[in-house]
Structure 1
Amino acid sequence: MRCYLVAEQAADTSTLQEVLRAAGIEVVTPERGYAVFARGGRLPWLPEVDFLCVVFAGRLETPTPPALYMDIGVAIGLGLPTLVIVEPPRTADSVLAPLQVVQMPLGSASALSFRLNAFLKSIGQSRIDPIEQTRPDIQTLHTFRQELDTLSESENSSSSSKYQHFEDIVVKLLEACGASTEGGPRSGDQGFDIAAWVPGTETVLPGPLLIESKLVSRSVLSRSDFDKLQHTAASRNAAMGLLLYYSLSRQPLRPPLGFWPMVISFEVGNLLTLLEQQSLAQLIVRARNAVVHGRAPQ
């Protein structure tokens, strides 16, 4: 198979090209698309390929080249299958709605592999082998435990610096588990801290997880923490909300009574223990399934 890959200048397509090539798909870019003439002896608008893949960068640094839309229009006219990938936080132009449009991080091989599989299946082509899920080793998990311990031990640190440190820990833990993150600490009040794509969750979570990190000094979580994340996930049409929490109190931290159908939660210390045996994707999928079937978050 051959894929004609076109992208905005700011888009990094290196991971996407690796996924395509690993699947045995030849990548044709504009730079080499017309290295030889078509078999008919004349130069067409699009090279001879099996499908078109168009990539829009997460941030519009320069105006989109009109040629990208021309490529899409010609592909539609030719009946050429077309996949449009939009990198977050960018949203797709409404004119692209009739096409297969997906929003995903360009750096997540797992997410790209899953979406390409779905696209290839829709056009009757073979599937790509799934990307192996990443799990931190024991030493890495031990390092995260030590970082959590410093939060309780640093009595002279201000509350705001502890909260920021905890958010940093959450981001690093997610990335150690292979997740691609958008946003992060101190990115502004959005109703959540981080948007994350976790490899291996794509079959049940088509979009990003909206993640809220909570560092508390008491032994009970507030219902409002779950209520706010539930509202944010619903209003943004997100796949799910994930609350990752940790208490500076020496007492066991108890989640509130209640049921939130779009929120799952983990105490970070307990999550580190669970990650010794399972991947983050497995834990999230099981927690999501439990919530969907009417069980409260654990």
Structure 2
Amino acid sequence: MNLTEVYAALVSLDIDIVEPGDVFGRDSTPGPGWLPQVDLLCAVFSADAGWETPASIFLEIGQAVGAQLPTLVIAEPPRRLDPALSSIPTTRVPLTSALALHDQIGLFVRTFSGSPSPVSAPVPMIDRNILREIKEDLADIRSNSQQQDPSAAAERLERASLQLITAAGGEAVSIDRDDEPVDFAAWIPGTEKFLSSPLLIEVKLLRRPEVARGSIDRLRAAANSRGATWALLLYFSITDAGGVKIRGGASWPYIMALNIEELATRLQDEGLAQILNNERNAIMHGASGQ
């Protein structure tokens, strides 16, 4: 397991790192009593470490909880967690994302240390030249929709969406799995207070100005399987219709649906985190069209 970015995040937060091996030696097994000597415990589960939770990890987490030691579980998507850990604060972030790790560990520390939340640095506005290029690419996808292979058009749309999210300050990781609709997961600076894990994003090319309820349900099921509270559907209609119907009630996990063209336009004057927060508020207060 590569913990380079985890260690870097802890160091950047002025947190000294103590591993069991530092106390007992690399070849010995930690016994009871060592956990209270630290201020918090981070239990890290990587995506490539299998699905089972070793008994020794359960023991250490149980000791920490029993000692009322602040404990944070860091689970790298798509790692599933044992239901027995569901009551413990958990964040799902890529172990390669220094920004996401820093923000989530820092947020966790502030919840029990009483430290005031730092004022977030303003998110830089997106480069308008990049926005123009993305809009031109979208227009080209639409104008050539009849001649272009549907799968090729969908791939172009995914690339444009990824470029837009990245240009707006997000960190995105592609998810290449045929058994679920999610195309990539993104960490968006400024959304830490309502997104405790990466935002799962599906990109959808519409041949008709409608998103079927089944599409929303599949994305919702994928978000649920990953323990996510929110997911984002980015859609693009090749019909250039005035409006797209989104069929699917506002239920948990919640789905934000945004027209990628409208998102690109809004990003000229708003930050991505602000847009997502506004969409979240609209859904929570029943103002969304879902």
TM-score range relative to shorter protein:
0.7 to 0.9
TM-score, length of structure 2 as denominator length: 0.75
User: What does residue 49 of structure 2 align with?
Assistant: 60
Indicate the RMSD between aligned Cα atoms, in angstroms.
Answer: 3.6
Task: Give the Cα–Cα distance (whole angstroms) in 1 for the partners of residues 267 and 236 of structure 2.
Answer: 16
- 1:105 touches 1:180 (CA, 8 Å); kept in 2? no
Q: Does 1:276 align with 2:265?
A: no
1:259–1:284: structure 2 CA closer, same or farther, 3 Å change rule?
A: same
The equivalent residue for 2:7 is 17
State the partner residue of 1:41. none
- Distance in 2 separating the partners of 1:52 and 1:197: 23
What count of residue pairs does the alignment treat as equivalent? 277
Tell me the residue number matched to 1:26: 16
1:199 is paired with a residue whose SS is coil
Are 1:142 and 2:138 counterparts? no
Is the CA contact 2:205–2:238 (under 8 Å) kept in the aligned structure 1? yes
Out of 154, 158, 180, the position equivalent to 1:190 is 180
Deviates more, 1:115-124 or 1:79-88: 115-124
Q: Quick one: which of 115, 135, 150 aligns to 1:126?
A: 115
- Corresponding position of 1:201: 191
C-alpha distance 257-53 of structure 1, shift in aligned 2 (>3 A): closer
SS at match of 1:196: strand
Contact 1:34 1:47 in 2 (8 A): no
Does the Cα contact within 8 Å between 1:107 and 1:180 map onto a contact in 2?
no
The equivalences for 1:66-145 within 5 A come to 68=57, 71-72=60-61, 75-76=64-65, 79-97=68-86, 99-109=88-98, 111-127=100-116, 129=118, 132=121, 133=123, 135-145=125-135
Give how far 1:88 is off: 1.0
Distance 2:246 2:43 in 1: 46
Name whichever structure is richer in helix by fraction.
2
In 2, Cα distance between equivalents of 1:272 and 1:99: 38
Matches of 2:204 and 2:246, distance apart in 1: 17
CA contact (8 A) 1:182 1:196 kept: yes
What is the CA–CA distance in structure 1 between the aligned matches of 2:52 and 2:246, rounded to whole Å? 50
Q: TM-score, normalised by structure 1?
A: 0.74
Amino acid at match of 1:103: R
Q: d(CA) in 2 for partners of 1:274 and 1:87?
A: 31
CA separation in 2, counterparts of 1:62 and 1:284? Answer: 32
Kindly indicate whether the alpha-carbon contact (under 8 Å) linking 2:110 and 2:117 is maintained by their aligned counterparts in 1. no
Residue 162 of structure 1 is aligned with which of 135, 149, 153? 153
Q: Runs of 5+ in structure 2 lacking a partner?
A: 26-32
